[in-house]
Amino acid sequence: MNHDNYHSRIPEPALRRLPWYLSYVKLLKKQGYGKVSSTQIAKKINVSATQIAKDLSYVNVSGKTRVGYDIDKLIGVLEDFLGFKRMHTAVLFGVGSLGAALLSDSGLEQYGLKIRAGFDVNPSIVGQKINSIPVFHSDDFTAKNKKIDAQIGILTVPPDIAQDVADFMIAGGIQAIWNFTPFRIRVPERIVLQNTSLYAHLAVMFNRLVKEG
C-alpha cells in the first residue's frame, strides 16, 4: 500500500488513537483471542465503535460483519502503518534526569526508535554510558552524526537554550525533533516537529482535578 497517500489523508486525532487500539489488541492476543470487533475495543477504550471503525478504515484493514478483525493481521497493519516495524535512528540532547530516563528506556526500540547517542556539555556526564548508549560532548555532534546518521533529535535541554540546540541539530542533519521542553521552538517547514510538554499536560490534569472542600 502507498503509505504516503494514507498518511496524508488521516486526521491527526485518528493517528493519535491508533496506538491505543494497537496496545489493547496486543493484550487480547496475549489472552488468546484471534478476532476482535470495534465494539469490543470500544468497551475498553473511551471511543465509540463507529469512530474506531472509521479510524481503522484509514489503515486499509477490513473486518467481517459479526466476526470482526483478525487480530494478527490488525497488529501487523497497525505496526507497519505507525512506523513501529521500521527502526528510526535518534540522538538525544540534554542528558539530565528526563534525558537519562529516555536513554534508559529500552522499550522505545519496540516502537521503532533506536537512540544511538546522547549529547551534553556537563563534564561529569560526557564520556559515560547509559544503557550502553554513549554520551558525547555537544560540540562533537556534527562530526558524530556523519557516522550515526540520525534523522530524529530528542530535545530535553533547559528551555532557555532549546531554540539554539534545535538549530544546531538541524544544521547537523536532523530532520525531525521530539521536543520535551516547554519552549515552543521554531523550525523550517521541512522539519517535522512533535511537542510533548510534560508541564502542559500536568497543568491540564491539575486544572481538571476535582478539588475537595
pLDDT of residue 3: 46
pLDDT digits (tens, 9 = 90+) for 3-31: 444 455 899 999 999 999 999 999 999 99
pLDDT in tens, 78-131: 999 999 999 999 999 999 999 999 999 999 998 999 999 999 999 999 999 999
Asked if 182 and 199 touch (Cβ cutoff 8 Å), the reply is yes
Query: What's the distance, Cα to Cα, between the start and end of the chain in Å?
Result: 56
Exposed e or buried b for every residue in 156-186, given b needs 16+ CB within 10 A? bbeeebbbebbebbbebbbebbbbbbebebe
Q: What is the pLDDT of residue 90?
A: 98
Query: pLDDT tens, 31-90?
Result: 999 999 999 999 999 899 999 999 998 998 877 766 789 999 999 999 999 999 999 999
- Average of per-residue pLDDT values in the chain: 91
